[in-house]
A and B are shown apart, each in its own frame.
Chain A
Amino acid sequence: MSELKPLNTVVPGEKLEMSVRQAVARAMGIDVNEVKMSSSLQADLGAESLDYLDIAFTLEREHKVHFPREDLLQRAAAHFGEENLVKEGVVTDLGLKMLKQAMPELDPAQLKSGLRASQVPAMFTVHTFARVLDRLLFAKERMSRACPKCGTAMQDSPNLPELVCPADQTSVPFPSGDDVMFEEMIRMSKEEKAP
């Protein structure tokens, strides 16, 4: 049984979880059976920042999605004003609230007062990656497949994370992970009436 109840309807939960566990196992050079959904990437598996990218790249190739590259808090700080989200390296109460809403993948129990921005990546588990992947697949599923130029139904590109129009070769990239995360944060902030 999968632990995940996916939003996307294309890749079922168990398959999605296995795909993430395999990507993590490959990045860390370990057997997939050593990778649990609850494993902390840093604390349990010894992942370094390059391994996070490695996992993301593998999943991007397999599922044709764009994982986020930017630091969500940094980007949000540019929007909301840095002092409002991170003060002297520590995530503010508003920053914590934003993180909780924009990244339900993170364990809410760990999102508590005094958390340093640099500690956020250490909170990532295998499950976090699966949830993010699911959200990206969901965003992809929801995008319009009509060619913006001629209206023809576009198809997945065989090599790249984009749709290609068979009629005029117009290509439209799949939603970027940075945008998916950030838009959610903005949407939440409007509901919360943040600055």
Chain B
Amino acid sequence: MVLDGQVAIVTGGSRGIGRAISLELAAAGAAVVVNYRAAEDAAAAAVAAITGTQRRAVAVQADVTKEADVKRLVSSTLSTFGRLDILVCNAGITKDKLVAAMSLQDWESVIETNLRGPFLCVREVVPTMMSARSGSIILMSSIAADRGGRGHANYSAAKGGINAMVRALAVELAPKKIRVNGVAPGVIVTDMTERIREFAEEEILRQVPLKRYGRAEEVARAVRFLASDDASYVTGEVLHVTGGLGV
């Protein structure tokens, strides 16, 4: 297995794309820390799905916007598994509003979870990865970083920030053999995209060359590739998993 003996943290790893990533990394051999903020039952279910296949996983509650929580997330990973090889910053939220109706809180909460969260997580794992001279960090971006769209200036700004952060971190951490990449999903079938799919199905599908929505598992496979040594010469890239949307 490509990730045998490795340990991964997946933030927001209990539901949607995050759950698929947790399961995919576990299936490839990694022990997985399934992070969740509030979805305790979903996290327990994801862990059960992994341990049922004789792989190792634990659920750790932590709010990625809080410094103390992130420290605890990483320290409990190290005390449980003794190492840390892969970080997937997947936890994300949307608060879609037209800009004129967007509250400051709508703006800040999206930036906090989707941009500050990855910063805090990356900062916390770097000492361990640097000492190991190895590590793969994957930040979840979005097609929304590249393509304009109504009602998500906050989300687009955060994800655009992620793409810039991927490139900056890739250069900064490369001397210590830590790779940093992004994965930018298009419209994937999850709870989070239910509303947008409901309201604009025809418009969306007209623009997707593959003429269908993506599945969380298809995004998870891209993450697994970047996490593994199969991508040993790939850093600073944002891999689009969009069915061709935006090409």
Contact = CB atoms under 8 A, between A and B. Distances in A.
Interface of A: 48, 50, 53-54, 57-58, 60-61, 157-160
Contact of A160 (B79, B172, B175, B176): B79
B148 interface: no
B52 interface: no
Contacts of A53: 127, 130
Interface of B: 75, 78-79, 82, 127-128, 130-131, 172-173, 175-176
22 contacts: A48-B175, A50-B173, A50-B175, A53-B127, A54-B130, A54-B131, A54-B176, A57-B127, A57-B128, A57-B130, A57-B131, A58-B131, A60-B127, A61-B127, A61-B131, A157-B79, A158-B79, A159-B75, A159-B78, A159-B79, A159-B82, A160-B75
A27 to B, nearest CB: 9
Given A48-B175, A50-B172, A160-B79, 5 more contacts: A50-B175, A50-B176, A57-B131, A158-B79, A160-B75
Nearest to A53: B130
Contacts of B175: 48, 50
Nearest to A171: B75
Given A50-B172, A54-B176, A160 B130 contact: no
A54 B130 CA distance: 7
A50 B176 CA distance: 9
- List the 7 closest A-B pairs by CB distance, nearest first: A57-B127, A159-B79, A159-B78, A57-B131, A57-B130, A61-B131, A160-B75
Contacts of A158: 79
Nearest to A157: B79
Nearest to B82: A159
Nearest to B80: A159
A54 B132 CA distance: 10
A53 B127 CA distance: 8
A54 B127 CA distance: 7
A53 B175 CA distance: 12
A60 B127 CA distance: 9
B191 to A, nearest CB: 36
A87 B219 CA distance: 52
A159 B78 CA distance: 7
Contacts of A157: 79
A160 B77 CA distance: 11
Nearest to A62: B131
Nearest to B174: A50
Nearest to A164: B79
